């Protein structure tokens, strides 16, 4: 090979290496560049809406849809404000006002702000049930709001603190409100309120964040493998000029930890997945690792291992069954499994445990399965009532559980009750099946329109599972 050819090869090789070196340096420089951020616009409404797009107003389901307008005759500053006309309780269009403002398009980067602020006044002193941001009807991941905010007839500034601004990189839900009328339940009278100078701000006066989970308490719950439980009672309290402001904060603002991941894990949405028998305590922090703040409260999960389902009901001809609650049969329409009657302390209702549908009642004194709005639940051709009961606590002497059936609730109703312990004893953490002749429900009369089935313990036992409620012949 001659010298000229060798020289050309060396030049080409040098050029190639130079290009590689340049590209490598450029790539390193690009990697060091900060990521592009979405819009950091702070204003939502001044004299008009700012950067929300043309389709941004979404009422809540059941709310009156046409309560919102821009009022050019009323403002805190400038020439206009947002006006909301809360309806009367008997308004045919809806008995409350509630909606979100959602950006039509890409969301906003709100890392630079620590609060949503606005000025507001009402036509008369009134309580606004909820005011906040982060609700977008697409997951509501970073929802945060204040409850029971008091508006007066004078313009006042209101602050909704952002629990952790670093989470809000592309937020679309920039405002939400919900309000009912004023007065006695069922007779509420409507009113109007105005919002102005609605924007995000960075307030130096906001300080001393106090995050809480489980309402700041150390709660404990018993459960089973395969169950997923939510962490509830998540909020952050911040101080603004000496006044504490409590914000209900979605669990996604928190960083959760499990003391025993082999028993239970927890994701960034506060969903606890139970994996095996044992105990695990869920705690949380808020903020970055460098500046994290421990949240008050915890949730201890006590897993009993695999769930012991109720006995599988016998296979019966569907024509011989009127089922209220059972996976084995088609059930009638049920309004709810907990009527929350006055003086009732009972909590709970229908739940799913590891794929099995059951009814769980806690703090039981009395509770009812309600079928007022169902087509007549006709059990007049049936001869027995079946129910499975599992008491989730120690059964002491004198503990009892009564079943009461009410037919044709109202002026012509009849009812009858039986005490289950007269048939078989209640057992601790074991399913007991009861098959009770309907003739034993003395005073019941017809069963052609069963409206209510009551479980009554008068507080002698508090926690029970119920399954397979059905009439049969």
Which domain covers residue 222, as residue numbers?
A: 207-303
Average pLDDT, the chain: 91
pLDDT of residue 115: 97
Q: Confirm whether 2 is domain-assigned.
A: no
Mean pLDDT of 28-46: 77
Specify whether 331 is located in the same domain as 286: no
What average pLDDT does the segment 247-275 reach? Answer: 96
The predicted model gives 220-228 an average pLDDT of 88
Does one domain contain both 214 and 195?
no
Rounded CA separation 204/133 (Å): 20
Residues 353 and 335 occupy one common structural domain: yes
Distance of CA 464 to the CA centre of its chain: 24
Question: Can you give the pLDDT at residue 401?
Answer: 97
Verify that 265 and 298 share a domain, yes or no. Answer: yes
Kindly report the backbone phi and psi dihedral angles of residue 421, in degrees, each rounded to the nearest multiple of 5, phi listed first: -70, -15
Which positions ≥6 away from 314 have C-beta within 8 Å? none
Length of the chain: 473
Instruction: Look at residue 398 in the predicted model and tell me its pLDDT.
Output: 93
175 and 229 together in one domain: no
pLDDT classification of 226: cutoffs 50, 70, 90: confident
pLDDT at 304 over 50: yes
32 pLDDT higher than 60: no
CATH code, domain carrying 413: 2.60.120.430
Distances (CA, A) of 197 to 80, 118, 218: 10, 5, 40
Mean local confidence (pLDDT), 377-403:
96
Q: How many domains would you assign to the chain?
A: 3
Lowest mean pLDDT among 10-19, 93-102, 135-144, 216-225: 10-19
Assigned domain for 7 exists: no
Q: In CATH, what number is assigned to the domain containing residue 279?
A: 2.60.40.1080
Mark whether 289 and 186 lie in a shared domain. Answer: no
Residue 162 lies in a domain: yes
pLDDT at 21: 52
- What is the percent of the chain with per-residue pLDDT over 70, rounded to a whole number? 93
Same domain, 47 and 94: yes
Please provide the distance, in angstroms rounded to a whole number, between the alpha carbons at the two ends of the chain. Answer: 105
332 and 268, same domain (yes or no): no
Q: Examine the domain organization and report whether 353 and 398 are in the same domain.
A: yes
**Residue 355 confidence (pLDDT):** 84
Examine residue 23 and state whether it is found in any structural domain, yes or no. Answer: no
C-alpha 142/C-alpha 247 separation (Å) is 12
Q: Is residue 32 part of a domain?
A: no
For residue 264, pLDDT beyond 80: yes
Is 272:264 a contact under the CB 8 Å cutoff? yes
235 shares a domain with 174: no
**Residue 62: closest CA among 178, 173, 144:** 178
Question: Residue 291 has what pLDDT?
Answer: 86
Q: Is residue 112 part of a domain?
A: yes
Are 278 and 257 contacting, i.e. CB atoms less than 8 angstroms apart? no
Tokens of 238: 């911040």
Least confident of 199-213, 337-351, 379-393: 337-351
Q: Which two tokens stand for residue 438?
A: 């309907």
Label residue 29 by pLDDT band (50, 70, 90): low
Is there a domain that residue 15 lies in? Answer: no
Looking at the fold, whether 62 and 180 belong to one and the same domain comes out as: yes
Listed residues 178, 203, 228: the one ending a domain? 203
Q: Are 133 and 167 in contact (CB under 8 A)?
A: no
Domain boundary among 203, 218, 248: 203
Please, which residues have CB within 8 angstroms of residue 57's CB and are 6 or more apart in sequence?
A: 68, 99, 100, 101
- Over range 349-353, report the average pLDDT: 90
- C-alpha–C-alpha distance, residues 301 and 260, integer Å: 10
Q: Which of 303, 334, 349 is the last residue of a domain?
A: 303
Choice between 405 and 411, residue whose per-residue pLDDT is larger: 405
Specify the pLDDT at position 9. Answer: 45
Structural domain contains residue 311: no
pLDDT score, position 16: 46
* 163 and 257 together in one domain: no
pLDDT digits (tens, 9 = 90+) for 98-133: 999 999 989 999 999 999 999 999 999 999 999 999
């Amino acid at each position: 090979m001659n010298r000229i050819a060798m020289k050309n090869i060396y030049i080409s090789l040098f050029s190639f290496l130079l290009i590689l070196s340049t590209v490598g340096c450029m790539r390193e420089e690009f990697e060091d560049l900060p990521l592009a951020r979405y819009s950091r616009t702070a204003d939502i409404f001044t004299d008009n809406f700012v950067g929300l797009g043309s389709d941004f107003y979404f009422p809540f389901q059941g709310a009156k849809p046409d309560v919102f307008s821009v009022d050019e005759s009323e403002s805190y500053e400038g020439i206009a404000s947002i006006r909301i006309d809360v309806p009367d309780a008997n308004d045919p269009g809806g008995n409350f006002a509630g909606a979100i403002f959602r950006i039509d398009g890409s969301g906003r980067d709100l890392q630079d702000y620590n609060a949503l602020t606005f000025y507001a006044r009402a036509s008369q002193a009134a309580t606004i049930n909820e005011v906040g941001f982060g609700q977008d009807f697409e997951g509501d991941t970073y929802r945060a709001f204040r409850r029971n905010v008091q508006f007066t007839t004078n313009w006042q500034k209101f602050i909704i603190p952002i629990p952790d601004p670093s989470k809000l990189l592309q937020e679309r839900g920039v405002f939400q409100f919900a309000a009912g009328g004023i007065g006695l339940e069922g007779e509420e009278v409507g009113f109007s309120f105005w919002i102005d100078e609605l924007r995000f701000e960075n307030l130096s006066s906001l300080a001393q964040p106090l995050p809480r989970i489980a309402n700041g308490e150390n709660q404990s719950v018993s459960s089973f493998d395969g169950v997923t439980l939510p962490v509830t009672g998540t909020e952050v309290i911040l101080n603004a000029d000496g006044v504490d402001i409590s914000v209900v904060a979605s669990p996604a603002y928190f960083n959760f930890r499990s003391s025993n991941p082999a028993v239970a894990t927890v994701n960034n949405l506060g969903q606890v997945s139970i994996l095996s028998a044992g105990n695990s305590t869920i705690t949380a922090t808020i903020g970055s690792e460098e500046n994290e703040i421990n949240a008050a409260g915890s949730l201890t999960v006590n897993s009993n291992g695999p769930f012991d389902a109720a006995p599988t009901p016998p296979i019966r001809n569907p024509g011989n069954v009127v089922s209220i609650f059972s996976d084995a049969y088609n059930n009638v329409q049920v309004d709810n499994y907990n009527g929350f009657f006055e003086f009732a302390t009972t909590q709970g209702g229908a739940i799913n445990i590891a794929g099995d549908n059951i009814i769980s009642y806690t703090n039981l004194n009395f509770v009812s399965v309600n079928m007022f709005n169902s087509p007549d639940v006709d059990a007049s051709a049936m001869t027995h009532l079946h129910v499975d009961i599992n008491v989730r606590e120690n059964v002491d002497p004198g503990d009892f559980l009564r079943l009461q059936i009410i037919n044709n609730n109202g002026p012509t109703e009849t009812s009858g009750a039986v005490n289950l312990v007269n048939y078989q004893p209640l057992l601790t953490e074991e399913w007991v099946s009861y098959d009770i002749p309907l003739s034993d429900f003395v005073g019941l009369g017809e069963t052609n329109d069963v409206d209510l089935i009551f479980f009554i313990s008068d507080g002698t036992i508090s926690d029970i599972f119920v399954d397979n409620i059905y009439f049969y012949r």
